[in-house]
A and B are shown apart, each in its own frame.
Chain A
Amino acid sequence: MKTRVPAVDGWFTMGDEPALLGSRGAETGSYFFPKNLAFSRNPVAPTEELTEVELSRRGKVWSWATNHYEPPAPYMSPDPFVPYTVVAVELVEEQMVVLGPLAPDADPSTLSVGTEVEVTLGTLYEDDDHEYVIWQWKPVN
């Protein structure tokens, strides 16, 4: 049994209802992803306090693109290479667009701008002992 570990630390939660982890400014309410607790990028309040927040688990498709060529390293491509889709998702509450892989069992030809999707977890790559987990967007339904 391989150990499931996040492919990147501190970017998302690993439970049954996974969520992306962002940060939020105490004064402005601005959201940031990936999480950054060191400084606010809202020029109105560069020194505001920042706290970690879970971002909305659901959003609406802004756009998507399916890649048919193997990208260069450091992408950890399966062998043989399998085409994959990157989705840009609009989070309504946060008023921002966040990228992520489309869950590989979802069909990109069913997507439209506005399709509702939610965060799920999937495998980015594996080694002998570990399964490296990444957030993915999956159409609701």
Chain B
Amino acid sequence: MEDIAVLGVGMHPWGKWGKNFVEYGVVAANAALADAGVDWRDVQLVCGADTVRNGYPGYVAGATFAQALGWQGAAVTSSYAACASGVTALNSARAQILAGLADVAMVIGADTTPKGFLAPNAGERGDDPDWLRFRLLGATNPTYFGLYARRRMELHGATQEDFAAVKVKNAKHGFENPNARFRKAVTLEDVAASPIVSDPLRLLEICATSDGAAAMIVCSLDYARAHGHTDPVRIAGVSTVSPTYPNTTIDLPNFATDSAFGVSEPERGYRASIAHAAYEQAGVGPDDLDLAEVYDLSTALELDWYEAIGLCKPGEAEQLVRDGDTTIGGRIPVNPSGGLACFGEAVPAQAIAQVCELTWHLRGHAGARQVDGARVGLSINQGLFGHGSCVIVRK
């Protein structure tokens, strides 16, 4: 499969700014256009990632941003795939570019989030598992993160200090990232002193919800060349696979896993299958990676991702953190942006932001957090209801 080019990336800083999500998106869009040197009126396709907490404009994100930037006739798509929405939008742009339907496209996501736990939509909705898990179990998102974390402690001997070390690392990485919301050095003692949310996880180990926006300008390699970009960052693989039956790891917002009765289990668990599909497309493997951005919804979950993307065998992730392998300067830096630990989650923007970060590293433009000589990077995430995404970029 042919690569597409990343011509420009841009973000609105993450925070709690109290503005309409469209304002953030326009800032990110204009930054990406300026970075790409592309005039908005030349963009042929706008692929928006939806927000479900901001009314109708959020459900039609592609059109919302096309209108906000000034109608110019571009085709639009709007995608919702929970935490994977941003890359689902990117894959929509990529598919149209590779099919020859568009040469240059904008991918964009922005969100304004409420304070506190993400909650289900309002109303009495007894047939919606997302509503029922709150009503019957009080199973917030951190509850599932707590289940995964405790499982690591029981199976692999992980300690709460191992989990805290992930936060310390990510806080160090994000300290000088101008787009990060939380830019503060954190010690193991700070983590241990923060209140327990979902035992064994503490407040400083669970990602917050944030306002923010990210945008990219992507195009065909021919378009890039014709506009003087001889060696752009390229997108070599994009995976948006769903699970394969039986999915035997309990996932948000479910009450139960699939039953493995009478069937053979898939070769890979769901998280590993998301990465595998992107590796296959790009023709690379874990050993080729120079950096990765993984979805650290919790500190412990970052360790699960190390194994899912093949950085180590199951049960070995704690050792990678202890040895500093995933710190900038180590063998394979993970979350050089600071990750969700420093950003908090702005759902439709987050997966796009991950790719923005990879792009800056491959260009050598990541400033104080630069991973030297980065040529291949991977981003990955997972969301509710069987969504996941993975992107591999190279230069």
Is the Cβ of B138 less than 8 Å from the Cβ of A73? Answer: no
| A117 is an interface residue with CB less than 8 A from chain B | no
| B18 is an interface residue with CB less than 8 A from chain A | no
Whole-angstrom CA separation of A78 from B351 in the bound complex: 37
Can you identify 27 A-B contacts, CB atoms within 8 angstroms? A7-B135, A7-B136, A8-B132, A28-B261, A30-B262, A33-B255, A42-B245, A42-B246, A62-B147, A62-B151, A63-B151, A65-B147, A66-B196, A66-B198, A67-B142, A67-B199, A68-B197, A72-B134, A72-B140, A73-B119, A75-B134, A77-B138, A88-B250, A94-B261, A101-B138, A113-B151, A113-B154
Among candidates B140, B142, B263, residue contacting A44 with C-beta atoms closer than 8 Å? B263
Q: How far is the CB of A74 from chain B (nearest CB, A)?
A: 4
Among candidates A7, A33, A42, A65, residue contacting B199 with C-beta atoms closer than 8 Å? A65
Given contact pairs A69-B197, A74-B135, A30 touches B147 in the complex (Cβ within 8 A):
no
Whole-angstrom CA separation of A88 from B261 in the bound complex: 18
| A43 is an interface residue with CB less than 8 A from chain B | yes
In the bound complex, residues from chain A placing their C-beta under 8 Å from that of B155 are 113
> Interface size bucket, B side?
35 or more
Q: How far is the CB of A45 from chain B (nearest CB, A)?
A: 10
In the bound complex, residues from chain A placing their C-beta under 8 Å from that of B314 are none
In the bound complex, residues from chain A placing their C-beta under 8 Å from that of B373 are none
Q: Given A65-B144, A65-B199, A65-B201, list of 18 further CB < 8 A pairs?
A: A29-B261, A30-B259, A30-B263, A62-B147, A62-B151, A63-B147, A63-B151, A63-B154, A64-B150, A65-B143, A69-B197, A71-B138, A72-B116, A75-B134, A75-B135, A96-B258, A99-B139, A99-B250
> Interface size bucket, A side?
35 or more
| A112 is an interface residue with CB less than 8 A from chain B | yes
Is the Cβ of A42 less than 8 Å from the Cβ of B263? Answer: yes
Q: Which residue of A lies closest to B154 (CB)?
A: A113
Using a CB–CB cutoff of 8 Å, the interface residues on chain B facing chain A are 116-117, 119-120, 124, 126, 131-140, 142-151, 154-155, 195-201, 245-246, 248, 250, 254-263
Given contact pairs A30-B261, A74-B120, A86-B147, A66 touches B134 in the complex (Cβ within 8 A):
no
Q: Which residue of B lies closest to A96 (CB)?
A: B259
Is the Cβ of A28 less than 8 Å from the Cβ of B262? Answer: yes
| A110 is an interface residue with CB less than 8 A from chain B | no
Q: How far is the CB of A91 from chain B (nearest CB, A)?
A: 8
Most buried by A among B133, B149, B201: B133
Convert A41-62 into 0s and 1s, putting 1 for each residue whose CB lies closer than 8 angstroms to a CB of B. 1111000000000000000001
Whole-angstrom CA separation of A32 from B199 in the bound complex: 28
In the bound complex, residues from chain A placing their C-beta under 8 Å from that of B144 are 65
Most buried by A among B133, B136, B149: B136
Is the Cβ of A8 less than 8 Å from the Cβ of B138? Answer: no
Q: Which residue of B lies closest to A83 (CB)?
A: B199
Whole-angstrom CA separation of A67 from B149 in the bound complex: 13
In the bound complex, residues from chain A placing their C-beta under 8 Å from that of B255 are 33-34, 98-99
Whole-angstrom CA separation of A122 from B261 in the bound complex: 29
In the bound complex, residues from chain B placing their C-beta under 8 Å from that of A32 are 256, 259
Q: How far is the CB of B271 from chain A (nearest CB, A)?
A: 16
Whole-angstrom CA separation of A7 from B147 in the bound complex: 24
Given contact pairs A29-B262, A30-B262, A97 touches B154 in the complex (Cβ within 8 A):
no
Is the Cβ of A68 less than 8 Å from the Cβ of B196? Answer: yes
| A18 is an interface residue with CB less than 8 A from chain B | no
Whole-angstrom CA separation of A75 from B259 in the bound complex: 27
| A104 is an interface residue with CB less than 8 A from chain B | no
Whole-angstrom CA separation of A72 from B259 in the bound complex: 30
Is the Cβ of B140 less than 8 Å from the Cβ of A95? Answer: no
